[in-house]
Chain A
Amino acid sequence: MSAGANNGPASKRRELAIRAGLSICVCILLGCSGKPQVPPPENLGEPPLVFDQGLSTDEVVANVYLDATSSMKGFVKADQIEPYLGTIEKAEQVFAIGWSKASVHCFKFGAKIVPLPGESCHLYVFKEGFYNLPKSEDITRIDEILEKSPQDAKNLTLVFTDLYQDRADIGRLLRAFRDSTIPRKLSVGIVGIRSNFRGKIFDIGARSFSGEWDTKGNRAKFRPFYLFIIGRRGNVSHFMDELFRRSKDTGPDQAVLLSPDVTASLVEWSKTKRLIEQGLVERRSLFQAPKSRFSYGSLQVRGRSTCTLKVEADYAPVKYAPTLDWNHVPQPRVQVRTFQVTTDGKLQGVDLARVVDGDLQLQNNKLVFTLTIHSDRWAGRGLYAFDVRPNLEADSFRLPTWCKGWSVTEEERLGLKNPASFDGSKTLNLFEFISGLWRAMLESHKPQLGALYLYLEK
């Protein structure tokens, strides 16, 4: 190549321009391919689950268990066997109409379970001899039902009983629930109904007196009986809906559904509405998107001393389930676990307690999460992962008032000197039983409202 023609200043400028252009292209390409990798949200800890989707099945097999112990006789001896008889009848109607395909099997039980032919269970309750169980069998053994009832998704177990249980019975019953029902992730619906009664009430007072209780049509004196509905949440909830539609004698304010889930739909990032993002910018391109079935937010922290993230999520409590008692949700209401994402895509726990403050409020039936990030106290740079969850305990939930209102404690019973002063419109240890069952469910399933996964770039 000859010197001279190509070495002028114009050609040097051209060469410089070509080099600069190539460098820019290389940088852009490198920039595009250089996004860091992050582990998926599942790696941040146990992800929240919904145990039961809450959908009813098309077909149901109903096993109706009628308490035939002598304490139940009073319901059918009254001048009017209502609403006890009517409730059983309505239950049968629910199965006939509420599902496209339903079969009903009737049983009577005391200490043992005895199948009854036909599907019209209500016809048995006022038959002569229905309640004439041998003394050895005149014990209400609901636990036997729990252990022996079928486990299919389409099975629904109904137990009509007055729940005549002392403390020992309660303990055994709770154990049975704990061993049979709870592990199967089944839900337990409890409907309380007060009915006419004329008969004996046993084990009154410290000396276990028995006494007559005659409601004489006085609703204030109606004695409660209970309908347990055990099965998949969807079927239980559907049964309760249909029953309440047909029955004037009971309703949602006399029912509770104890379920493995406390929310019908988990809170997650993609379902939230972002209210405030001060000092934060949502950005999709911070990292290579990990494969995950959970949604997450990716945010960039901008240069401010304090950044605030406030998001709102729908609060979808399970129908008929115990409600959140906001005054009993412990502080901090939100638990924030923080990790740093290392250069090789691994998670390293990091303490950012001084940096991050979380809060949760329930406003207008919406869960409002607030995260305050004090950037001026946050020295680190890089990519971080946050797991933000509501901090719930069993005491955070409140059972319906009727659970306590219809209950009489063992102490109150033992303290009665006069049997005549016993209030037959209440049930012994009702509240202990229901709250014990609920606590057992919470402890076993540890249900959660959901989790917010966040990746932040500082």
Chain B
Amino acid sequence: MFNKPRSSLALPVIGVLAGLGVGLPVLYFLEPLVLDPVVSPQAGQTIEDWLREFRQLETLLVILSVAVGLLWHASTFLDAGRSGDLRLVWVGLGILFLAFACWMAVRRLPSVQEGSSGIMLCVAVNALLPYYMASAAFTVASHKYAPWGSRALRKLW
């Protein structure tokens, strides 16, 4: 079952840190700058309160996104990589989680008068970016090119 050298176990850990290290700053520093000018909360809610609720939910989503990245890593560790690279699994996990994130956002985020498309864009980023960072650059060698864009990404270092 365990088909990889033990040193590979460090990769998921680094992937988690990378996912959180990118996802959380984007959520806490970049997205407020994007959403503040475009979102109009429902009457009676200040933009600060809305952003706070948004941040709370999305922090959970970022963490879950990284957890989905761990699921990906687990699948690569269980699979030898001989017959395929599990790219469909990677894509499937991403799409499923994106759908879940959108559903959660629709259900849990306070409604707004304006800015829905910006919000959903940020939700998509929060769902996919940490997952991508946790997986694309730190997948174990036998499946490292399964994530889209990983070949180009890995050329950077």
Contact = CB atoms under 8 A, between A and B. Distances in A.
Tell me if chain B binds chain A. yes
Interface of A: 273-285, 300, 302, 310
B48 interface: yes
Most buried by A among B41, B43, B114: B43
A160 B45 CA distance: 54
Nearest to B37: A302
A273 B44 contact: yes
Contacts of B43: 274-277, 310
A interface secondary structure, majority: strand
A277 B40 contact: yes
Given A282-B41, A302-B40, A277 B113 contact: yes
Nearest to A280: B40
Contacts of A280: 40
Contact of A285 (B40, B45, B48): B48
A356 to B, nearest CB: 18
Contacts of A274: 43-44
Given A277-B43, A281-B40, A282-B45, 11 more contacts: A273-B44, A277-B42, A278-B113, A280-B40, A281-B47, A282-B44, A282-B47, A284-B46, A285-B48, A300-B47, A302-B40
9 contacts: A277-B43, A278-B113, A281-B41, A281-B46, A281-B47, A282-B41, A282-B47, A300-B47, A310-B43
Contacts of A275: 43
Interface residues of B, number: 12
Interface in B6-54: 39-48
A283 B46 contact: yes
Nearest to A272: B44
Nearest to A279: B40
Contacts of A302: 40, 114
Q: Which 7 A-B pairs have the closest CB atoms?
A: A274-B44, A274-B43, A277-B43, A282-B46, A283-B47, A284-B48, A281-B40
A308 B29 CA distance: 31
Contacts of A282: 41, 44-47
Nearest to B39: A281
Nearest to A277: B43
B77 to A, nearest CB: 36
Contact of B48 (A276, A277, A278, A283): A283
A267 to B, nearest CB: 16
Contacts of B42: 277
Contacts of B44: 273-274, 277, 282
A273 B39 CA distance: 20
Nearest to B44: A274
B45 to A, nearest CB: 7
Nearest to A275: B43
A439 B114 CA distance: 49
A278 B42 CA distance: 9
A282 to B, nearest CB: 4
B46 to A, nearest CB: 4
B118 to A, nearest CB: 13
Contacts of A277: 40, 42-44, 113
A431 B124 CA distance: 71
A274 B46 CA distance: 11
Interface in B40-86: 40-48
A21 to B, nearest CB: 13
Contacts of B48: 283-285
A284 B51 CA distance: 12
Contacts of B45: 282
B38 to A, nearest CB: 9
Nearest to A283: B47
Contacts of B47: 281-283, 300
B21 to A, nearest CB: 17
Interface string B91-131: 00000000000000000000001100000000000000000
A302 B40 CA distance: 9
A316 to B, nearest CB: 20
A273 B43 CA distance: 8
Nearest to A311: B43
Nearest to A285: B48
A282 B39 CA distance: 11
Nearest to A303: B37
Most buried by A among B40, B41, B45: B40
A281 B49 CA distance: 11
A280 B47 CA distance: 10
Contacts of B41: 281-282
A271 to B, nearest CB: 12
A220 B135 CA distance: 92
Contacts of B40: 277, 279-281, 302
B126 to A, nearest CB: 22
B36 to A, nearest CB: 9
A279 B113 CA distance: 9
A30 to B, nearest CB: 16
Nearest to A278: B113
A280 B40 CA distance: 7
Contacts of A310: 43
A302 B37 CA distance: 8
B39 to A, nearest CB: 8
A238 B42 CA distance: 42
Contacts of B39: 281
A310 B113 CA distance: 14
B50 to A, nearest CB: 9
